[in-house]
Amino acid sequence: MEGVYKINTDAAMFEDSQIGLGGVVRDFEGNVVVAMCNKVVGSNDVAVAEALSARQGVQVALEAGFTNLVLEVDNIRVFRSLQDRRFDAAPFGIIIRDILRFEHQCSKLVFSHVKRIGNCVAHGLAKLSQAYNGLHVWLEEAPTEVTRYVLADKFDE
């Protein structure tokens, strides 16, 4: 719907305990309004990496001024924890709690699950993070390395 921005996030695991975080924010027509990637040192727990990526995706979207959001993830544990508002004191739970705390900054924050095939842009950005140090953000565009995924998503939907 017009005025709603969809965030897709994903993570990639690299050697030496490095994690690639990727995310893309799109408008109701599927146009990229924000793309991001970041490489961090972290856990080898996939759910923790996926949650970190989701948290960074929401944070970047909010910093770019978008507040009517749908967060779409392909990790079922992350999705269910957010949907059920279930977290604990473990690292995974703390990250989930952080994401839920963003709700007060949003006019709307909805959680959605997508199959991995529907998350190619975010996954490509997560893998691309290996080429960078730190957070990289693109406004109103996506890096050329993921353009084919963006086009496939936009015209296959």
Secondary structure element (H or E) that encloses residue 32, with its range = strand 32-41
Q: How far apart are CA 17 and CA 30, in angstroms?
A: 33
Section 74-94 average pLDDT: 93
Identify the three-state secondary structure at position 36: strand
**Contact 117/73 with Cβ under 8 angstroms?**
no
Domain extent for 147: 5-156
How many domains does the chain fold into? 1
Task: Give the pair of three-digit tokens for residue 153.
Answer: 């998503």
> Could you write out the DSSP letters of every residue in 51-100?
HHHHHHHHHHHHHTT--EEEEEES-HHHHHHHHHT---SSHHHHHHHHHH
- Tens-digit pLDDT profile for residues 99-154: 999 999 999 999 999 987 778 999 999 999 999 989 999 999 888 888 888 887 77
Pairing of strands 5-13, 18-26: antiparallel
**Contact 73/54 with Cβ under 8 angstroms?**
yes
Q: Which residue has the higher pLDDT, 58 or 153?
A: 58
Give 73's pLDDT tier (boundaries 50, 70, 90).
very high
Average pLDDT, the chain: 92
Q: How far apart are CA 24 and CA 32, in angstroms?
A: 7
Write the CATH number for 98. Answer: 3.30.420.10
Pairing of strands 18-26, 108-113: unpaired
